[in-house]
Structure 1
Amino acid sequence: MAEKIKVIITGALGKMGVEAVKAVHEDNELSLVGVVDVKGKGENFSEIVNNKEINLNLENDLDRIIAKTKPDVMVDFTNPQAVFNNVKTALSNKITCVVGTTGLNEVELNQLEKLAIEQEVGVAVIPNFAIGAVLMMKFAKDAAKYFSDVEVIELHHDQKMDAPSGTAIKTAQMITENREQRPPRNTKEFEKVAGARGGDVNQVRIHSVRLPGFIAHQEVIFGGVGQSLTIRHDSYDRVGFMPGVIMAIKHMIETKGLVYGLENIM
């Protein structure tokens, strides 16, 4: 029997972190060896998730947990302020990284890619782990060849820290790759309220909604002469992201350098 992949999870107290802890623990090919969160005070994680089998103390020091457990993979679900340093620390210790935290900019991604190649390990930055969301982005890219006019509405819970979402930005980028260069939009358009027309990513308008009750949802609306096309994906429970997380862990352990987007793993 092959040796199990040793995994630590940072941001383990977050909603995605808790689900990732449970998913990794339950997978027969993975071994959960450490849970890290800045709010950790050494309490036993089994009490937090009400599962006596997850018998690990919650650490708040990433360097210490790396030294103690010597993991193969780090999964990061922290926040935009912490993610870059966390991944840099892990890669420097030759640890493969799977990153679900959004907020990394292009300069930071380039630095992490260079470091991963130097250390001969992999780093996956995944804007959305939902397989259905990846298919939604793929379908939107395909449709962009035939419908050049498009806007994106993304809806998330009111605790989400960044806007627009990483998925919405990635969708806009994929649409741009598959449609011809467009002339400037209607210059006579006037916003009576600043921001009413949303943000602009490569001439794709993105509108961000933040309300309690939502998890993660996105619709891509294409407009054409006499018709429209709407492609929508809804995540109703964070457990739906976990098959993508597990898939990324197992793929990246055999991969070197940067992979951006789950579609490059599927």
Structure 2
Amino acid sequence: MRVLVNGAAGKMGREVLKAVHNDVELTLVGGVDPTHGGKDVSEFIGSQPLHIKLYSSLQEGIDATKPDVIVDFTTPAIIFENAKTMLSQGIHVVIGTTGLSAEQRAELDSIGRAKSANCLVAPNFSLGAVMMMKTAAELAPYFPDVEIIELHHNHKYDAPSGTAVLTAKLINDAKTKANVKSSEDLTRESLPGARGAKVDDVTIHSVRLPGYVAHQEVIFGGYDETLIIRHDSLSRLSFMPGVVLACKKIKSYPGLTYGLEHYL
């Protein structure tokens, strides 16, 4: 698989460049970053010159490298247009950028199917985070009272995180299927927002501080007991096995897939 990395000079993009270059089953053909066009990839991964270029625009990178798959870690403001551009040209797309609505994902699914180009949108590429979400959904019927605290660095664009939202949706689906509901919450906010934000029946609290990478607690309350699941990504390296896995498997999953768990 020939892999192009969009957003290559960012913190996640640099790790993706390294991971793809170091994997024997993938071929890194280039990167895209509007401020570093023409530079060698080696400048961003600390290696000897590789003679693999960064391109100033997405279309320039596509035309020059003819990739099989593009990994996109850019920004919520441009991800939808990026994805339409990539899929409409028959290129598989692995998206780690958050911010796509359900309606936008449905449109991308249609474009991809028409062009035989597959798309994975993953709120989190950490295998541990995927297991956390799966476990939370399995526990929800037995502990329907649950809240989520997610903690990220203060340069993260969105709040709550895509991982927290997906976790909440999986919990809500599990509770609906089991026909269980949360206990009545008698607390009333004296300061608006003190109780966090709701995704259906699950409350999410977002923390943004320097020093964090990506962390989440799912706190279940029971009768005289609590149960907490916590996942910590200690560096961006924790996301790379999932990104590499996605690049290798994407051609086998038609249309748009939401969540890395479907590839496991």
Q: How does the TM-score come out when normalised to structure 2?
A: 0.95
| 1:153 counterpart residue number | 149
Q: 2:203 aligns with which of 202, 205, 209?
A: 205
| 2:98 counterpart residue number | 102
Measured in 2, the distance between the counterparts of 1:20 and 1:59 equals: 16
Measured in 2, the distance between the counterparts of 1:240 and 1:108 equals: 28
Report the AA paired with residue 192 of structure 1.
Answer: S
Cα deviation per residue 1:75-115 (whole Å; 9 max; x = unaligned)?
00001011111111110110000000011011110100111
CA RMSD of aligned residues (A): 1.3
| 1:169 counterpart residue number | 165
- Can you give the 5+ residue segments of structure 2 that lack an aligned partner in the other structure? none
SS, match of residue 152 in structure 1:
strand
Measured in 2, the distance between the counterparts of 1:252 and 1:66 equals: 18
After TM superposition, the structure 1 stretch with the greater mean CA deviation from structure 2, 250-259 or 6-15, is 250-259
Report matched runs for 1:124-135 at 5 Å: 124-135=120-131
How far apart are residue 240 of structure 1 and its match?
1.1
Say if 1:228 and 1:20 are closer, same or farther in 2 by CA, change over 3 A.
same
Measured in 2, the distance between the counterparts of 1:102 and 1:54 equals: 30
How far apart are residue 183 of structure 1 and its match?
6.9
Report the AA paired with residue 85 of structure 2.
Answer: T
Q: 1:190 aligns with which of 180, 188, 197?
A: 188
| 1:263 counterpart residue number | 261
Cα deviation per residue 1:15-73 (whole Å; 9 max; x = unaligned)?
11100000000111111111001322322221232212543222121111111111100
| 2:78 counterpart residue number | 82
How far apart are residue 195 of structure 1 and its match?
0.9
| 1:247 counterpart residue number | 245
Report the AA paired with residue 115 of structure 1.
Answer: I
Q: Is the 8 A contact 1:156 1:217 kept in 2?
A: yes
Confirm or deny that 1:67 pairs with 2:66. Answer: no
Measured in 2, the distance between the counterparts of 1:183 and 1:224 equals: 10
Cα deviation per residue 1:217-240 (whole Å; 9 max; x = unaligned)?
000000011111000000001111
SS, match of residue 167 in structure 1:
helix
After TM superposition, the structure 1 stretch with the greater mean CA deviation from structure 2, 231-240 or 48-57, is 48-57
Provide runs of 4+ in structure 1 moved above 6 Å: none
Q: Is the 8 A contact 1:97 1:123 kept in 2?
A: yes
Q: 1:223 aligns with which of 214, 221, 224?
A: 221
Report the AA paired with residue 157 of structure 1.
Answer: H
Confirm or deny that 1:18 pairs with 2:17. Answer: no
Measured in 2, the distance between the counterparts of 1:8 and 1:172 equals: 32
Measured in 1, the distance between the counterparts of 2:221 and 2:147 equals: 9
Q: Is the 8 A contact 1:72 1:253 kept in 2?
A: no
How many corresponding residue pairs?
Answer: 261
Sequence identity percentage: 49
Report the AA paired with residue 155 of structure 2.
Answer: Q
Say if 1:91 and 1:260 are closer, same or farther in 2 by CA, change over 3 A.
same
Report the AA paired with residue 22 of structure 1.
Answer: K
Say if 1:181 and 1:115 are closer, same or farther in 2 by CA, change over 3 A.
farther
Q: 1:233 aligns with which of 206, 231, 234?
A: 231
Q: Is the 8 A contact 2:144 2:182 kept in 1?
A: no
Measured in 2, the distance between the counterparts of 1:53 and 1:253 equals: 30
How far apart are residue 189 of structure 1 and its match?
2.8
- Can you give the 5+ residue segments of structure 1 that lack an aligned partner in the other structure? none
Q: 1:31 aligns with which of 22, 27, 32?
A: 27
Measured in 1, the distance between the counterparts of 2:222 and 2:4 equals: 48
